[in-house]
Chain A
Amino acid sequence: MQTEVKPRPNQLGIVGWFWGGNYKIERYLYILHRVTGVGLILFAMFHLFETTVMRNQGESVWEMTMRFLANPIFEIGLILVGFAFVIHMLNGARLIIQELGYLLGRPKRPVYPYSDAIRRKRGITMIFMAVIIVLMVVFVLNRFIGGAV
């Protein structure tokens, strides 16, 4: 009797969000957007815990928390949170605009060599990226020079 052989599942799963092949910049911005999103959620939870639970424990606990947080690891973490905020906000703005069908142009006859709308409008992505980098530099300068910028 012949037994039925089922096809083997081949979903990449969550790994597929991070590595799906040799793609171009927009595919990596997708990864960056997810990573920064998760990072910001984790930070928000940590920050809420710090400013509610720890703050309500009284002055001594709050002072102890502040001393615990005053170290280079959390300082670097805060800079990364700032970077994540800038990237997620501006790349998110680009995504909202383009996902609603704007700034992508109209369909075009596929004539070889093919180009897709996202690559044709890469200039717009680059403008957003440039603003992100400028804001990151401003954030770092502001952090280290202490309000000089």
Chain B
Amino acid sequence: MPDKETSVTFKVQRFDPEKDKQPRMQEFIVPTRRGMTILDALLYIKENLDGTLAFRTSCRMGICGSCGMYINNYPRLACHTQIAELESAVVTVKPLPNSPIIKDLAVDLQPMFDKHKSIKPYIVQENKTEESNLTHEYVQKPEEVEEYEQFSYCIKCGICVAACPTSASDAKFLGPQALGQAYRYCADSRDAGSAERLTITESNHGAWRCHLAGACSEACPKGVDPGLAIQLLKNKMAKQALAGPQKNKKVAIYPEPKEIKPRVAVPPFTAK
């Protein structure tokens, strides 16, 4: 385990679509230090050893979801994974499986984004004008927020899709990311679009293709638990199938204020 400054061998998968027919592995020796992440090592390689190495990164703090990679046979965020925690003198870095490779470690996440868009990832309203031009404030209790809050932390990094065995063999499968987000919006008390969303998720490549391997939830770097969201989505779908099409519930709206109280003035002694 690299505690002091030691060297770690990085085996990085390279693939240049303009030159290579098959991906190949290239080795780099990287001097490491305490707290150094996989992303730091890749940046070191790019700056000092091989400037042609391609990978995607942005925030460096596990928020943007750009640097999802297959590190030592497990999908992780490169910026969120310290070299020391891998406890290995050799680190293999490959692009995320189940997403097409653009170059080296950069994958094309467009198919995932298209699936995400297909499940209507927004609050659907009965009144379509109200959907885009809100005139009211919604009412939501804390317990209603808890129903979907966990799933709203998704950063769309594609790690769950890389971990999913169904996505491995079915390219049309909506995938844990999109299905998890479908439940996130269906469980939102402000939403009135469950019926139309469930029509999409019960397709041949929808939620019933998930067989609860649990890998998506295990690998998710943000604790979003898409596996739980999909099973709760199936519960909703089963109930809708048994009870018939569910009528959209009335969205709670904060009542119009009867009178507008004037804002309390700033105490004069605080104003310069």
Contacts and interface: CB of A to CB of B under 8 A. Distances in A.
B215 A20 contact: yes
Contact of A10 (B95, B165, B236): B95
Interface string B165-207: 1011101000000000000000100000000000000000000
A8 B223 contact: no
B68 interface: no
A21 interface: yes
A130 B186 CA distance: 36
Contact of A107 (B23, B101, B108, B147): B147
Interface residues of B, number: 56
Contacts of A23: 74, 163, 213-215, 218-219
A134 B72 CA distance: 36
A15 B95 CA distance: 17
B34 interface: no
Interface of A: 5-17, 20-24, 26-27, 30, 33, 95, 98-102, 104-112, 114-119
B235 A100 contact: yes
A5 B232 CA distance: 40
Given A7-B101, A22-B74, A116-B220, 20 more contacts: A8-B17, A10-B97, A13-B169, A16-B97, A20-B163, A20-B215, A23-B219, A26-B215, A95-B212, A99-B231, A100-B238, A101-B236, A106-B146, A108-B225, A109-B149, A110-B150, A110-B222, A110-B224, A116-B214, A117-B228
Contacts of A100: 231, 234-235, 238
Contact of A11 (B98, B219, B223): B98
